[in-house]
Homo-oligomer: A and B are copies of this chain.
Amino acid sequence: MDFSSILSSIYLQMQPLLGQGKTANYIPALRDVDPLQFGMAVTLNNGNFFGIGDYQQGFSIQSISKVFTFTLALRLFEAEIYQRVWREPSGDPFNSLVLLEHEQGIPRNPFINAGAIVVCDSLISHFSKKHHRIADTDDGSKSTAFYEMMQFIQNCTSDASIGFDRQVFESEMKHGFGNLALANLMKSFGNLENDVAAVLKTYFQQCSVVMNVKQLSRSMLYLANNGTDPITGQQFISKQHTKRINSLMLTCGHYDASGDFAFSVGLPGKSGVGGGIVAVVPNKLAVAVYSPALNKNGNSLVGTKALELFSEYTGFSIF
């Protein structure tokens, strides 16, 4: 398949759409990025790479980080995590408190904010026990939960240069009232083990991780290869877990537009308000797009369209 031509064709067709949609407006660091950027990248299981546009432009992966942390949680303590977060679509926006209140502080799935915060909390508990350290103390040492998350993301990408954007992180810390509401509500129901402030600090760090679409498509190859990195041969999770993460991305990966994404793209994927979306074609490849202007559901407007075309041109779909 001629991926170069396909990407070129998509790139051209996206040009008239650039300028539509709006960047995330809740923090200046996201609001003020150039909304006209567009990059797209494909990494095949055999290692071949194809990129176009701003494919080397780093951006804040935001909610896409939830895939990495849920992978870690599944690997380390699957049974436990199922006690604290469900795996059903929520039918509500990503930050809704309504269902959370009705359902006694148990989030619908790990890909809405509340669920990801619970996953983050469980990882903090796990690593603080493992390293015999006080939970949440950020002493710069290499034993924090966030350090472990970064290690894992770098491993998945085979790229130790990946870091996080301190400005985005601090901006999130300063304006994260909605997430503070979610976290405190769960704490009031007993579904948060560590201090709310410590959990949110780690959570905002993970959201501030910076990648470009080249790295992002590379990092998700394990989900296109039954849990094992097809290039390094390193197994991150089991085949069974891989299926579960992919199914969760399909049913819950795009907030209350998940059904629409499944309907029109037909691939497991995850989006972030930074403007990135990554999708997986099982046994074949991972594809990532970046364009920071969002549609009304909070997903990259151009990114969504680009993936629809990608699915149409390649015929790739899990259905």
Contacts and interface: CB of A to CB of B under 8 A. Distances in A.
Interface of A: 86-92, 96-99, 101-102, 108-109, 177-178, 180-185, 187-188, 196, 242-244, 246-248, 250-252, 256-260, 262-264, 266, 268, 282, 317-319
Assembly of this chain: how many copies?
4
Given A96-B101, A185-B177, A247 B87 contact: no
Contacts of A243: 266, 317, 319
Among A183, A266, A268, chain B packs the most CB atoms within 10 A around the CB of A266
Contact of A263 (B87, B101, B178, B184): B87
B259 A88 contact: yes
B177 A181 contact: no
A244 B268 contact: no
Contacts of A262: 247-248, 250-251
A246 B317 CA distance: 11
25 contacts: A86-B259, A87-B260, A88-B89, A88-B91, A88-B257, A88-B260, A89-B91, A89-B251, A89-B258, A91-B92, A98-B98, A98-B101, A177-B184, A177-B187, A180-B180, A180-B181, A180-B187, A244-B319, A247-B319, A248-B259, A250-B250, A250-B262, A282-B318, A318-B318, A318-B319
Among A88, A196, A242, chain B packs the most CB atoms within 10 A around the CB of A88
A196 B182 contact: no
A259 B109 contact: yes
Contacts of A89: 88-89, 91, 251, 258-259
Contacts of A87: 259-260, 263
Contacts of A109: 259
A319 B177 contact: no
Which 8 A-B residue pairs are closest in the complex by CB-CB distance? A91-B91, A89-B89, A177-B188, A246-B319, A88-B259, A180-B184, A181-B184, A181-B185
Nearest to A246: B319
Contacts of A177: 184-185, 187-188, 196
A242 B266 CA distance: 11
Contacts of A319: 242-244, 246-247, 250, 268, 282, 318
Contacts of A97: 97-98, 101, 181, 185
Contact of A244 (B247, B257, B263): B263
Contacts of A250: 247, 250-251, 262, 319
Given A89-B91, A177-B196, A243-B317, 17 more contacts: A87-B259, A87-B263, A88-B89, A88-B257, A89-B258, A91-B99, A97-B101, A109-B259, A177-B184, A177-B185, A178-B185, A181-B184, A181-B188, A184-B184, A243-B266, A248-B263, A251-B259
